[in-house]
Chain A
Amino acid sequence: MAQTLASAPPPMNKGFFSRISSYIFDIRFLGVIVQIAFIAIVILGVRTLGGNFAQNAGKLGRAQFICRDGSFSYRCAYDFMDGNAGFDISDPPLEYKTTDSFWWALWNGIINTFRVGILALIATTILGTLAGIARLSDNWLLSKVALVYVEITRNTPVLVQLLLLYFSVVLALPDIREAIQPFGLPIFLSNRGLSIPWPEFMSSAPIWLAFLILGILQFQLTWFFMGRREQETGKPSNRFRWALAGFLVIAAVGWIISSATADNEGILVARSSRIGEFEDIKSVIMTRGGVNHVSEFAHKSDEELEQAALKICVLRDSPSEPNLTNKLRRLGLPYEVNRASSMSRAISSFAEGNCDVLAAPKSALNSALAMLESPASNLIVSVKEAPLTWTVPSFEGFNVVGGWSMTGEFFALFLGLTIFYGGGLAEVVRAGILSVSKGQTEAARALGLLEGQRLQLIVLPQALKVIIPPLISTYLSLMKDTSLGVAVAFPEMYLISQTLMNQSGRALQIMIIIMLVYLVISIFFSVVLNWYNQRVVLVER
């Protein structure tokens, strides 16, 4: 608008100079000139800095650009990443050895960042929503506790919170031998972290997941077509229940089919052990224990049980273990697990006769059979599998095995981010709920909507419009703040990059990768935010 005013045609009855000057001072002309000058300044500035950089880089860091053949070229800036990392990662999410490449080490860090970030993101959403609602609660005590929580988290730096949490809370937890078990549940909390039960995907899980996707598709279709019929006929049909029932039926059928058809899991046994089929295990163990019925095992002493127990060799953290042991537990049979750190160790342990069976996927067992001295004296017995099997943590010796365990560092970072951002989110949620005017609620009641309908149709859509944009920025900040893992020595992307820099002496190259990864994360969230804002754009006037 200013432009149209300023660029109005010049008055004609002026002299030559003023006519020229009115063109020169035309805002569009000036604007373009200023912008071109701006570009020139930016380019000159970049050139100056770049010149300095080239000068200094050539002098200080020529060694950074040495190729493998010893020549010097800027294109070799990232060649060093193929070399041996040579350092250990305390909590690698993937298989990692010190002889792996820098790329692989960095990739482990990136995965760790996402692991802790996404988990904290989910937990933050839950905690923030609960705290936001608690702030508005009519229970005085609850709202005050929530207020104190929000004020404390918002008025102190996240770094200090994290340090306090890690050094004064997590590390002050009891030793693993006296791990806290809240209410006797199979959850172990100690200064080494947290272990919780966790579903383990078996090899037949993809089939079941395909069925689940089919079920979701069915849900959508049922929802859509029954909704259309509802609109046409005007008769309400409980489309949610029908759709849900259909989904459950398909999921159940998928479960049965995938567990019936899957034949990937097996055990390797010696022919001499008289186990020809999985069901034979029961009779073999019962004979060995000298009992006629499994319930008699309850009366046996520990030594007798140990004698009778089925000794299982297995690769550590392999899903074959819970699959087999869950079945044995259901049968009431005693067992003893011998976990090996690698498959070849497990095989040699079986070959030495340390255990009765070797549990693994069949493909691994076939290759194991080939490695044994006398393959003919052993055979592979199928073990049935379900798509998911629960692994439950339990005490064994001086350690907690099974389940899904977070290290203390992971736990502290996860908890610290969750608590800090939960406080911020609580305020967002509270503001969102308060932004829906009371008149809306009253109008909904006046229309005779049920409480559930009121929340679902009137309050939530309006509150979410206010909540979601700051929620997404909170998510973004949270993902960025996973870099604070460096303060508690959790090996996420930033910490790994620091180690890489110390190992390779090439700070700039690594920092560029790291910043790019963070930028990609932030662009992702920005795109989501823009997409949402465009969908629910608030039109002014």
Chain B
Amino acid sequence: MATLTSSTRAIEPPREKRGTFSKSFNWTYFLQDNITGSRGLTIWVALLTVITLAVTVSQLGSAPRRAGIIVAVWAIAVVATILGELFTLHNPITRWLKENMFNSVSNTLITLLLALVVGQVMTQLWNWGYVNATFDPALTAPDVRSSGASWGVIWGARKLLLTGPLEPEYTWRVILTLVLLLALWAFTYIATRRAIKASVPVFSKIMNGLWLLAPIASYIFLAGLQKELPAATKTIDFGLFWIRFNPVVAIAGLTINMFTLVAGLLIVLATMAVLWFFRVIQLNPTAIVMWVLAWPVAYVLWRVIAQTGWFPSIDVDHWGGLLLTMIFAFFVNIISFPIGILLALGRRADVYGIPSWIVWPVAILSTGYLLMTSTPELWETSRNGIEKTLALWPVLIIISAYFFMRSFNGNVVKAFSILSIEIIRGVPLITLLFMAIIMAPFFTSEGVELDKFWAVIVGFSIFSSAYMAELVRGGLQAIPKGQYEASDSLGLNTLQKYRFIILPQALRILIPPLAGAVIGTFKSSSLVALVGLLDLVGVVRGIIANPDWLGLRSELYAFMFVLYFVVSSVVSAYSRRLEERVGLGSR
């Protein structure tokens, strides 16, 4: 780079003497470059001139002082630039102006036009938001308001904006969670410093463990524990054990009892066994013993904390405001990221599909059987042509078998992943959320009351997982083919390949898109207000309807707008820093 700039500098024309009329200026060339070069350019400049003139005249009429100042400053700058150009009198300012504002006739006009428009918008905003505004919470009642903004409403309604309808006596628990997360973050920051990482390597391991525990701790703080086991989990039908086990119930009544204890331990051990079998992890007796012990210990701790009564349970539907928005942003991403990875891997799975000699006989036989058993009955009772056609539904089995074999080659995992991703991405989030709320009572077993919050979390996570899967797929595709081929040629099996070669690289590439996804979830969590949850937007709608603050829409919406903007910008700035540190850039 350095050599390039120095060489371009070397071929600059020799400087003319300051203050003399530039000999290199040529009117013909100037006109050709700026106006008459092509017909399109001429029309463009003419149009721009007309628009700029019209805006200037109308603004000079409506706000003579402001428009006058802008036009005068613009004119002075233009004259200074022209003088600098023609008489070789450039100083750093005019040179900058020439290069960035007035480098052609159309740019000169655009500068004026934009300055006028931006000036008008900014002045109006400034007048509304500061000059005519009041900041006192006492001045927000409808009869004492000023013509500008009444910012006092934000301080006045701060409790609602932050935590919504949450009982005030629990506010300290929200603060505790915040302190916990901030402290963890600060310690991690220290732990990942190079010097500390080298001297006290255990530190960062402890931090990793604490981060894994952080969601559980936050849950205890924010949702609390019931002294009694919730009724919902008691009614689960243990007779049909794993078929009747309903994941929604397990999450909804998220409690550790004997059932989740045994099931969880079995799942962990089975996963470890599979990973060991495929030589992804080594057989580590200490780890197994720790896992086996971890669950009873966690269970005892869980019950002990519950019995102390320090954290009585809070109705999750009382969470609201910024708290709820944040919970959504964290919770949904934590759930949807692993599911997204699984869906993405499923979409790329190239396992040997179910062979056609199994699919076709099964499809044909079942179609035939159903055509003979189900169709006649439906056909006889049908009332119109549509129902007659619907009576032939078993034919759909053959058709879907055909598409299944043609598009997916019998690969069930791929078919399931692609279909679920595409269907979920094909409908708006708001319909999924609504569906989750109205469908939840239908799909849960008897006696289970699902909070609206959990229904929405499920719907939102399903939606987010599909998008996450597409992100992860992008990351997987960005890994050069050579990496896959090299790990194959090393004789690694699929699990080893993904665990040791592909995923570590893909996740590093994925940092910016993942940050984008977190921001996306944070932003789209505003939609839960439309299905009746009291997140930031929902709370604001409530505040507007409050008689004391009736109709203070613009202030609250503007505040919300700025809040979302600041948080999103901070997260994306942080992700850029993170990317610099561990991302591809540093390698």
Contacts and interface: CB of A to CB of B under 8 A. Distances in A.
Interface of A: 1-3, 5-6, 27-28, 31-32, 34-36, 38-39, 42, 44, 48-49, 52-53, 55-57, 60, 75, 137-142, 145, 151-152, 154-161, 163-164, 167-168, 172, 183, 451-452, 480-481, 483-484, 486-487, 494, 507-508, 511, 514-515, 518-519, 521-523, 526, 540-541
A150 to B, nearest CB: 12
A159 B554 contact: no
B430 A168 contact: no
Most buried by B among A483, A526, A541: A483
B342 interface: no
A494 B431 contact: yes
B553 A167 contact: yes
A480 B537 contact: no
Contacts of B446: 55-56
B426 A36 contact: no
Contacts of A452: 38
B569 A141 contact: no
B101 A140 contact: yes
A54 to B, nearest CB: 9
A2 B494 contact: yes
B430 A483 contact: yes
Contact of B554 (A1, A38, A167): A167
Contact of B443 (A53, A142, A183): A53
A5 B557 contact: no
B445 interface: yes
A159 B526 contact: yes
B431 A38 contact: no
A244 to B, nearest CB: 15
A48 B413 CA distance: 21
Interface stretch (B87-95, B110-118, B164-172, B365-373): B110-118
A145 B122 CA distance: 12
Interface in B349-402: 350-355, 358, 381-383, 387
B54 A183 contact: yes
Interface string B544-580: 0000000001100110110011001100100000000
Contact of B354 (A32, A145, A154, A483): A32
B519 A48 contact: no
Contact of A160 (B114, B118, B564): B564
A541 B101 contact: no
Contacts of B352: 3, 27-28, 31-32
B524 interface: yes
A36 to B, nearest CB: 7
A44 B569 CA distance: 45
A522 B443 contact: no
Contact of B488 (A1, A159, A526): A1
Interface of B: 38, 54, 58, 99-101, 103, 107, 110-111, 114-115, 118, 243-244, 246, 350-355, 358, 381-383, 387, 411-413, 416, 422-423, 425-431, 434-435, 438-439, 441-446, 481, 484-485, 488, 491, 493-494, 497, 519, 523-524, 526-527, 529-530, 537, 553-554, 557-558, 560-561, 564-565, 568-569, 572
A-B pairs, 8 with minimum CB distance? A522-B426, A140-B100, A155-B568, A28-B352, A31-B351, A157-B523, A35-B412, A168-B554
B564 A155 contact: yes
Q: Interface centre among B243, B426, B488, by most A CB within 10 Å?
A: B426
B103 A138 contact: yes
Contacts of A451: 38
A502 to B, nearest CB: 12
B560 A155 contact: no
Given A2-B493, A57-B442, A142-B114, A156 B354 contact: no
A104 to B, nearest CB: 18
A494 B565 contact: no
B561 A56 contact: no
Contact of B427 (A39, A48, A154, A515): A515
A142 B412 contact: no
Given A28-B352, A157-B564, A168 B481 contact: no
Given A48-B246, A156-B564, A541-B481, A164 B426 contact: no
Contacts of A2: 488, 493-494, 497
A518 B429 CA distance: 11
Contacts, number: 188
A368 B540 CA distance: 55
Given A161-B561, A168-B557, A183-B58, A515 B481 contact: no
Nearest to B437: A507
Name A's interface SS: helix
Nearest to A1: B488
Contact of A38 (B114, B358, B416): B416
Contact of B111 (A5, A49, A141, A541): A141
Interface of B is mostly: helix
Given A56-B442, A526-B426, 5 more contacts: A42-B416, A53-B442, A159-B530, A483-B430, A523-B426
A247 to B, nearest CB: 20
A526 B421 CA distance: 13
A152 B568 CA distance: 10
A481 B431 CA distance: 11
A130 B426 CA distance: 28
B503 to A, nearest CB: 16
A162 to B, nearest CB: 10
A152 B351 contact: no
A455 to B, nearest CB: 11
13 contacts: A1-B484, A35-B411, A35-B412, A60-B441, A75-B383, A140-B101, A141-B111, A141-B114, A141-B115, A159-B527, A164-B558, A480-B426, A486-B430
A494 B427 CA distance: 11
A48 B237 CA distance: 12
Listed residue (A28, A34, A159) with the most chain B CB atoms within 10 angstroms of its CB: A159
A155 B111 CA distance: 26
Nearest to A526: B422
B100 A164 contact: no
Contact of B118 (A145, A158, A161, A483): A145
Nearest to B422: A526
Given A32-B355, A39-B412, A156-B523, A139 B427 contact: no
Nearest to A512: B435
A139 B97 CA distance: 10
B116 to A, nearest CB: 11
Contacts of B568: 154-156
A39 B560 CA distance: 46
A160 B427 contact: no
Nearest to B425: A522
Contacts of A28: 352
B426 A519 contact: yes
B427 A519 contact: yes
B569 A508 contact: no
Contacts of A519: 423, 426-427
B85 to A, nearest CB: 16
A154 B571 CA distance: 13
A38 B519 contact: no
A508 B353 contact: no
Contacts of B569: 151, 155
Q: Which of B434, B530, B568 has the most CB of A within 10 A?
A: B434
Given A1-B488, A49-B443, A141-B111, A156 B497 contact: no
B354 A139 contact: no
Contacts of A52: 246, 442-445
A503 to B, nearest CB: 15
Which of A151, A156, A158 has the most chain B CB atoms inside 10 A of its CB?
Answer: A156
